[in-house]
Structure 1
């Protein structure tokens, strides 16, 4: 079961001497676009191979961050299975952080993956619905997209987002250094 923390609580803890370890599980491109100061980027797609090390080397509470919450919840589940018991998810993710006008480090602006998925899925459904007025079988493409979105909602996993994350414009200018992120997490865990 996921545990959540609100923006105000995280801001208070970040500003105090008991700052939690902030782990952003978004893609490197999303992280590069905007992130919470002091956060470490450990993309969800690479967490499986490092979850045991994170659980072993981290002795303080971990705040997991994504764009709106679902990927951070997935990360929390993976880390709990690896033995990390003290983690919370930033409720509302970076969307809530930005809405609260909290401080953030900004880089090259990109659309969030969720926004890209909505644009592409909506465009495909709109075009195929209009096309089905002349060519009836086109309605099956719209149904396929609807089924994919339903699956994404039920499983909290979006295949379209996974594919979009691999496109060149979703790649960061500077590649994320996983080893450096893990080393920062390990050092942060030994502060306590």
Structure 2
């Protein structure tokens, strides 16, 4: 394996791009160099994954993609050992049969609360999940369940502020910011 330059581009909003060379395979997948652990070649197939996410997002009242973005904000805020593809995979699986999947943005407090609980309930023994669309293995990078449990509890507090009489909107917002940072809610 040759020496490959990886270009990292960090944006002010926390978005990070790693640019690496890829080779297109006949199947439409891509092979790319991974310099971790002595180096190896990896294959990825993002097109069917992107299509699967977009398709499910469309039938879930456009709730899936915003949920994935919110969970990336949680990942950054809490330094959760979880990759973006695993967030997408878990959110994809969660929302498939979720009772509020077709509701409006008003339900995001419940959606987030229930997704944190769902993530917390994932087996800590599970090593990988299957990506939507491509069915490729998505390996965990560490245990995310404990931090999901902590944020589930914080979401309960936020919701209790939202449903209090009178509402304690400022307190609710502060609890959500403990979970997501200042990105959500705005």
TM-score normalised by the chain length of structure 1: 0.27
Structure with higher helix content: 1
Q: Which has the higher contact order (CA 8 A, sep 6+)?
A: 1
TM-score normalised by the chain length of structure 2: 0.27
